[in-house]
A and B are shown apart, each in its own frame.
Chain A
Amino acid sequence: MPLAIIRPDDWNLPLFLHVLGAMAVMGTLLVVATSLLGTWRREDADAAALRRLGFWTVISGVLPSFLVMRIGAQWVAAAESLDEQGEAAWIAIGYITTDLGGLLTLVSLVLAAIGLRRASNRGLARAVGVMAVVVLLAYLVAIWAMTVKPS
C-alpha cells in the first residue's frame, strides 16, 4: 500500500485559500447555471426574479471567488517553487482552465450587467447560463488534474 503524502506546513495556507476559492467559484456557478437555465422558456415574474439572482451572482459571487482562487493558485505555485520546476501537464491544465474560466467570467460579467438593466433578458440569461455550465465542466477537469497530477 502506498505511503501517505504529507506536504510542508508553508504550503498549507495558500493551498487552503486556493481550494476554498475554487469551491466558492463552483458554488456560485451552480447558482448562476441553475437560476438562469431554469428559466429557459419562462417569462413570468418568478423567472425575472431568478434571472436577477443569476446575474447578480456572477457579479457579486463568481468574480470575487475567482480572484481568491487565482491569487491562491499563484501563491501556492510560488510556495512550491513550481515555476522553477518546469510546467507539468497538471499545471498547464490548471492555467488553461482558469484562463478559459476567467475569459468566460469576464464576458458573463458584461452580459449580466446588461441583463440587469433590461426587462427582456431571456437570451442573455441563456448565454450566461450556458457559459456557467462550460466553466463548471472545465473546472471539473481542473479538479481531476490537481488531484491526479498527470505529468
Chain B
Amino acid sequence: MNRYETLLFLHVLGAFGMVSATTAFWVVMLAARRSERPTALMPATATARIAVVAGSLLTIVFGVWLTLYLDGYELWDGWILAALVLWAVSGETGRRGGAAIEKARLAGDDALGATLRDRRTLFMLALSTIAVLTVLVLMIWKPGA
C-alpha cells in the first residue's frame, strides 16, 4: 500500500466506524423505547460507543491529511468545508444526545424510558444522524470538485 491508499483506507475505515455506530445506536434505542427494562439493553451499545469515537478521530485526522496530500483538493473547497462543519455538528449533537441518555440510564428504567421518548433527545440524535449522512453524500458526490 502506498501513502495515498493508506490514508484513504484509514479515512474510510473511520467513516464506517461513525456510520455503523450510528446505526447500532438507533437499533438499540428503538428496541429500548419499547422495552419495560430499557436499561437492560444499553450494554448492546458498548462496542458502538468505542467505534464512534475511534471513527470520528480517524475520519478527521486522515480526511484532513488526504486533503493536504492530494493535488486538486483544498481545505477551503466548499464541499470539504461543509463536511468539516457537519462533522463537528454531528459530533456535538451526538454527544449531547448520548449524555442525556447516559444520565437517564444511571437514574433507572423510568427515567431512561422517558428520555428515549423525549423530543429534544430525539431531535439531537436525528440531527447528528442527518449531519453524518450528509457528510457521506458530500464524500461521494463531491459537488463542485
Contact = CB atoms under 8 A, between A and B. Distances in A.
A143 B13 contact: yes
A31 B21 CA distance: 9
Interface residues of A, number: 39
Contacts of B40: 45-46, 49-50
B71 interface: yes
Contact of A1 (B51, B69, B133): B69
A97 interface: no
A40 to B, nearest CB: 12
Given A20-B136, A49-B41, A56-B31, A27 B9 contact: no
Given A46-B37, A147-B5, A30 B16 contact: no
Identify whether the interface residues of A are mostly helix, strand, loop, or mixed.
helix
A12 B1 CA distance: 25
15 contacts: A1-B71, A2-B70, A4-B71, A15-B140, A23-B20, A23-B136, A24-B23, A27-B24, A28-B24, A30-B23, A38-B43, A54-B44, A56-B31, A147-B12, A148-B1
A148 B46 CA distance: 30
Interface string B54-72: 0000000000000001111
Nearest to A148: B5
Interface residues of B, number: 41
A34 B48 contact: yes
B139 to A, nearest CB: 9
A1 B7 CA distance: 13
A34 B43 contact: yes
Contacts of B16: 22-23, 26, 143
A134 interface: no
A57 B21 CA distance: 14
A79 to B, nearest CB: 13
B44 A23 contact: no
A6 interface: yes
